[in-house]
């Protein structure tokens, strides 16, 4: 048996030696892939432009104040059964037209009135003629006609009542009712 053990040991040694030799044998490994060709040199990117300096703060203009409403008013009185503007009221209208030039005009409202002497229809027409006479005078002073609104109220809005009077005393007493009320609406410049 000893022989058999020796033989087995010799065979094992031979196999081991062979395995070592086979393990040491050189095998050709595949050549590594060639390195990629270097990319053509690109010029270095230009440096980024320096950021523009921040703009100097601009002061905001002060907000415009809200428009201030302006209302001017005056009355023009008329003689009995007349629609011509009297000289003493032309001066008042001249002053008013000067004040109007100092504002941003929106509208002039001219409301004509009459007293109660005469028919309602006649007094209505007379009150319109009075308002139109005042408008014509203001237009002659340079105001735009499309900015002047006229209306007649006839005898419907008296400011004075004169009970018990007749004739000339009644006519004189009702003088304040024969008028044109003017209202000017605009804003300060």
Q: Which domains does the chain have, with CATH numbers?
A: 74-188 (3.30.1330.60)
Whole-number percent of the chain with pLDDT over 90: 57
- The per-residue pLDDT for 159 is 95
- The per-residue pLDDT for 69 is 78
The pTM for the full model equals 0.64
- The per-residue pLDDT for 6 is 44
Condensed to tens digits (0 to 9), the pLDDT of residues 10-46 reads 445 444 444 444 444 444 555 555 555 555 556 556 6
- The per-residue pLDDT for 87 is 94
Q: In whole angstroms, what is the distance from residue 181 CA to residue 154 CA?
A: 13
Residue 137's alpha-carbon distances to 75, 94, 97, 122, in angstroms, are: 14, 9, 10, 23
What sign for the dihedral angle of Cα 157, 162, 166, 169?
Answer: negative
Given a cut of 90, whether residue 72 has pLDDT beyond it is no
Residue 139's alpha-carbon distances to 77, 96, 149, in angstroms, are: 19, 12, 12
Condensed to tens digits (0 to 9), the pLDDT of residues 116-168 reads 999 999 999 999 999 999 999 999 999 999 999 999 999 999 999 999 999 99
């Amino acid at each position: 048996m000893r022989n058999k053990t020796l033989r087995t040991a010799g065979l094992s040694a031979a196999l081991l030696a062979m395995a070592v030799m086979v393990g040491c044998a050189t095998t050709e490994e595949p050549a590594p892939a060639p390195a990629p060709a270097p990319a053509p040199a690109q010029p270095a990117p230009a440096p980024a432009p320096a950021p523009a300096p921040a703009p100097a703060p601009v002061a905001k203009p002060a907000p415009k104040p809200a428009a201030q409403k302006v209302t001017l008013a005056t009355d023009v009185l008329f003689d009995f059964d007349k629609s011509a503007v009297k000289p003493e009221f032309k001066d008042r209208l001249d002053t008013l037209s000067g004040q109007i030039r100092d504002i941003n005009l929106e509208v002039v409202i001219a409301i004509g009135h009459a007293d109660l002497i005469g028919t309602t229809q006649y007094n209505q027409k007379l009150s319109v003629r009075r308002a139109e006479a005042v408008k014509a005078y203001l237009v002659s002073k340079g105001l735009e006609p499309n900015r002047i609104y006229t209306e007649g109220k006839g005898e419907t809005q008296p400011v004075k009542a004169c009970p018990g009077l007749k004739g000339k005393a009644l006519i004189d007493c009702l003088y304040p009712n024969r008028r044109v009320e003017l209202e000017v609406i605009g804003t300060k410049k």
